[in-house]
Amino acid sequence: MSEETPSAGEPSGAAETAAPQRHVVFSHGQASGPWGRKITALAEVARSEGYEAHSVDYRGLEAPRERIARLADYCKVLSGDLVLVGSSLGGYVTVASASVLHARGIFLMAPALYFPELPPLRAGIVDCPAAVVHGWGDEVVPFEHSVRFAQSCRAALHLLDSDHNLHNQIRVIQNLFEYFLIALDLPTLAFE
């Protein structure tokens, strides 16, 4: 087939400007898979806000450093804006990877932070906007861990009436995630 020629009134040789690529990359928890209920629900939100949705499969990888390496390998082929989303152990992987991957923002759900069996995170590791959602009744990761993290990096913190899986709050989390993505596009206000 021949190449298309410009139609009448179109300047010849005009380059089309493509919208910048935007990606949301999900990291699931230790006991779940790449397209669980929360990730599937949030992927719909990401797509509606103009992002491509990706989910890394960590099944079979127990060591956090292996998961961090897999996320880095996955993201190295993506260009454009990168938003990382992590749930439980995926939250730890997200935090540990955010600055190395130059994430534009991170959104965490019941992140498994500050456990002695996990490699410690360095101070000041988060250098982008962050939001955390956690259940008051989380039986796996104490909500106090998210409070501590949010205080340390001045992240938005949302404590909900839920347990570790947060399934009874998916609609609320979708709304929080939508707001988070929209806020990333808002200009920063300068105060005098």
CATH of the domain at 48: 3.40.50.1820
Give dist(CA 81, CA 72) in Å, integer.
15
Residue 189 lies in a domain: no
The residue range of the domain holding 36 is: 28-184
* Number of domains the chain is built from: 1
> In tens digits, what is the pLDDT along the chain, a chain of 192 residues?
343 334 444 444 444 455 569 999 999 999 899 999 999 999 999 999 999 999 999 999 999 999 999 999 999 999 999 999 999 999 999 999 999 999 999 999 999 999 999 999 988 889 999 999 999 999 999 999 999 999 999 999 999 999 999 999 999 999 999 999 999 998 865 544
Residue 150 belongs to a domain: yes
For 165-177, the pLDDT digits (tens) are 999 999 999 999 9
Q: Is 43 a member of any domain?
A: yes
Residue 19 lies in a domain: no
Q: Determine, yes or no, domain membership for 8.
A: no
Tell me if 4 is assigned to some domain.
no
Q: What is the pTM of this model?
A: 0.87
- The per-residue pLDDT for range 35-67, each reduced to its tens digit, is 999 999 999 999 999 999 999 999 999 999 999
